[in-house]
């Protein structure tokens, strides 16, 4: 539990110390760029992972287009949001489950708003569509967005899968925004965090993150069904994870 205690204390200290930034950005949000607002979160995420010796090897940043995109990420660990923020080469807003846990965390809820992150209600289709439209609007205004389309942790949905089935409606964001989709594969993060609760055990691991080639198929063919595109992206992710397993047989058991 020592890693978890260090990690938790660092979050408390880090976010309390960010209060002056929150006040500054909230008072004059238009005065500051997305890069300036995102810098604190990226630094906090990177230092948090370093503190517990979760080492990232990031591949494919050069594949990410300059234009705003929708990042689509697999989801094996409670720490994947830290891995995402630490790895991404540009500021992002994140699509977050509309649950009280996130909305009630002091200070963090202000950062969620400042980065144009969007809550999505998975139980109410009408509210879900509003969230999708808001994400698309953010992208049109220049803010890249990121989503975990599995909707939950992989091993919670399907313990035998490397990547579980997507909620294909999430990809509608890219259709409406008319932006590229960049699949982002997180490999070997499964056991970085043991458990499904706010308090768990953090394990030091080497994690590989890879940005795959951007996808434009939905722009070239707007009639392409989201179900088909979701299947294609999922298969690409699984292929990369399988390659990782073959190249790293010593950790094969850790990512099954």
Per-residue pLDDT of the chain (256 residues; tens, 9 = 90+): 789 999 999 999 999 999 999 999 999 888 999 999 999 999 999 999 999 999 999 999 999 999 999 999 999 999 999 999 999 999 999 999 887 666 778 888 899 999 999 998 877 888 889 999 999 999 999 999 999 999 888 888 888 899 999 998 899 999 999 999 999 999 999 989 988 777 789 999 999 999 999 999 999 999 999 999 999 999 999 999 999 989 888 765 444 4
Cα(146)–Cα(46) distance, integer angstroms: 18
Asked if 57 contacts 68 with a C-beta cutoff of 8 angstroms, the reply is no
> In terms of residue numbers, what domain contains 30?
2-255
Q: What is the pTM of this model?
A: 0.93
Q: How many domains does the chain have?
A: 1
Hey, which residues does 166 pair with through a beta bridge?
Answer: none
What is the rounded CA–CA span in Å between residue 237 and residue 150? 12
Q: Rounded to an integer, what distance in angstroms lies between the CA atom of residue 79 and that of residue 190?
A: 9
Cα 179 vs. chain centroid, distance in angstroms? Answer: 17
DSSP string computed for the chain: -HHHHHHHHHHHHHHHHTHHHHHHHHHSGGGS-HHHHHHHHHHHHHHHHHHTT-EEEEE-GGGS-SS--EEEE---STTHHHHHHHH-SS-EEEEEE--HHHHTSTTHHHHHHHTT-EEE-SS-HHHHHHHHHHHHHHHHTT-EEEE-TTSS-HHHH-TT-SSPPP-GGGGHHHHHHT--EEEEEEES-GGGEESSSSS-EE---EEEEEEPPPB-HHHH-TTS-HHHHHHHHHHHHHHHHHHHHHH-GGGGGGG-
Q: What integer pLDDT is reported at residue 252 of this predicted model? A: 53
- Contact, 91 vs 34, CB < 8 A? yes
For residue 88, what is the domain's CATH number? 3.40.1130
């Amino acid at each position: 539990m020592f890693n978890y205690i260090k990690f938790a204390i660092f979050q408390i200290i880090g976010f309390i110390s960010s209060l002056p930034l929150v006040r500054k950005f909230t008072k004059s949000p238009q005065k500051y760029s997305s890069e300036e607002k995102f810098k604190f979160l990226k630094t906090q995420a990177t230092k948090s992972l370093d503190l517990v010796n979760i080492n990232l090897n990031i591949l494919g940043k050069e594949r990410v287009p300059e234009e705003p995109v929708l990042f689509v990420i697999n989801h094996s660990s409670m720490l994947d949001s830290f891995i995402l923020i630490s790895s991404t080469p540009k500021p992002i807003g994140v699509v977050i489950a509309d649950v009280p846990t996130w909305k009630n965390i002091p200070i963090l809820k202000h950062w969620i708003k400042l980065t144009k992150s969007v809550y999505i209600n998975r139980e109410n289709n009408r509210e879900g569509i509003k969230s999708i439209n808001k994400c698309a609007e953010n992208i049109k205004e220049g803010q890249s967005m990121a989503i975990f389309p599995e909707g939950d942790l992989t091993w919670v949905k399907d313990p035998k899968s490397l990547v579980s089935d997507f909620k294909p409606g999430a990809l509608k964001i890219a259709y409406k925004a008319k932006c590229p989709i960049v699949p982002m594969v997180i490999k070997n993060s499964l056991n970085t965090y043991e458990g499904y609760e706010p308090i768990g055990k953090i394990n030091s691991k080497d994690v590989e993150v890879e940005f795959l080639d951007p996808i434009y198929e939905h722009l070239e063919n707007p009639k392409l069904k989201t179900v088909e595109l979701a299947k294609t992206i999922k298969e690409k992710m699984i292929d990369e994870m399988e390659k990782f397993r073959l190249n790293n047989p010593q950790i094969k058991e850790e990512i099954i």
